[in-house]
Amino acid sequence: MNLKRLFGGILTILGIVGLIYTAVIFADTSGGERDIKSLIIYGILGIVFFTSGISLVRTTKDES
């Protein structure tokens, strides 16, 4: 099993979880400053993890 592909899959899953958590916070937000900051932080981290994970899975070649 290729370690880069496994790490890419883990990053992708973490990114999806971060984006879902951002959506949950967005749905429950009251507009406070703390809510906005957490939305931005979790959203950016989710996007970064998701895109880097997809990129790792996509560019890593299968070696059998």
Across 10-32, average pLDDT = 90
User: Hey, where are the domains in the chain?
Assistant: 3-59
Confidence of residue 35 (pLDDT cuts 50, 70, 90): confident
Q: How far apart are CA 63 and CA 54, in angstroms?
A: 18
Across 29-46, average pLDDT = 85
Tokens of 21: 């958590």
Locus of tokens 């931005």: 40
Q: Which residues of 34-53 are buried (b: 16+ CB within 10 A; e: fewer)?
A: eeeebbeebbebbeebbebb
CB distance 56 to 5 below 8 Å: yes
pLDDT at 21: 93
Q: How far apart are CA 58 and CA 29, in angstroms?
A: 35
